[in-house]
Amino acid sequence: MVNKIIQENVIGTYSNKDTLKYYEKVGLWISEKILFKKYFKKRNVKFLDMGCGGGRTTIPLVKMGFNVFAFDITPAMVKLTKKNLEKSGLKAKVEIGDAINIRYNSNSFDYILFSFNGIEAIPGRNNRLKTLQEIYRVLKPKGIFIFTTNTQKYFKGRRKLFFLKEALKYYFSKLFRLNNKYSRINDFEYGDCFLNFKPAMFMHFSKPERVKKDLEKIGFNLIFSEFRDIIEKRKTPNLRKDYFYVCEKK
């Protein structure tokens, strides 16, 4: 269901010229290289690259020898992935799709990736939960799913107040029945916010402990989890934002 907030504050933001320019760049993070080597060992198997953006991960995955299916909710991003594939002379099945309702049959994929906090771009706690359930459904038993979330811990000191301010804006908008982007969030969760993009970008910042409980309830076996900077053995403060989860379908 593409509602107004998804249309404007997800697809709208990711279709922005500057954002598209940023996502032209292809290549895996150091942490992704380390984890993919360890957990995506089989080759020639079906791989689903969700929220593929401009194909940053899609292209390396095809090069690694997977049979890649990629999708994104933002048409301009799908176009960019196709352009990047064509430039590299590579092939993958790329289309417009919604992570909340994955259009593939149950038990279809050996491996699934939802990289660079893509799940956090989905407005509504129930939608994010539905996404995880959908991933569980389309993953084969013993299949591996890797994803990252933002973390609230990244915001330290006075910046911590940011989430509180965003929560107050939400409750104020609901209370006074304002018609704005905050009141359009159906099931607000602390950590939901709008980032300073044009148009404003919806984003959630998770608490990893809560995500782990959600994964467990859905049935995933969490086999590894860690902050990106720790995996990469780098002290870059920005990397503290991203938190990796490696999950197996029981």
**Comparison of 18 and 141: residue with beta carbon closer to ligand SAM:** 18
Kindly identify the residues of this chain, within the stretch 63-92, that bind ligand SAM according to CB under 6 A.
72-74, 77
Q: Could you tell me if 173 and 180 are in contact, meaning their C-beta atoms sit under 8 angstroms apart?
A: yes
Contact with ligand SAM (CB under 6 A) among 28, 35, 48, 52: 52
| Close Cβ partners of 236 (under 8 Å, ≥ 6 residues apart) | 229
CB of 95 vs ligand SAM, minimal distance in Å: 11
Question: What separation in angstroms does the CA of 84 have from each of 70, 87, 113, 117, 194?
Answer: 13, 5, 19, 21, 29
Question: Residue 63: how many CB atoms within 10 A of its CB?
Answer: 13
Q: At what angle do helices 125-138 and 208-218 cross, to 10 degrees?
A: 50
Residue 183 touches ligand SAM, criterion: CB under 6 A: no
Could you tell me the smallest distance in angstroms from the CB atom of residue 54 to ligand SAM?
6
Please name which of 118, 152, 121, 120 lies closest in space to residue 241, comparing C-alpha atoms: 152
Residue 208 found at the interface with ligand SAM (CB under 6 A)? no
Work out how close the CB of 100 gets to ligand SAM at its nearest, in angstroms, rounded to a whole number: 5
Which range of residues in 83-91, 98-106, 169-177, 229-237 is near ligand SAM by CB under 6 A? 98-106
Contact positions vs ligand SAM (CB under 6 A)? 10, 14, 23, 50-53, 56-57, 72-74, 77, 98-100, 115-118, 121-122
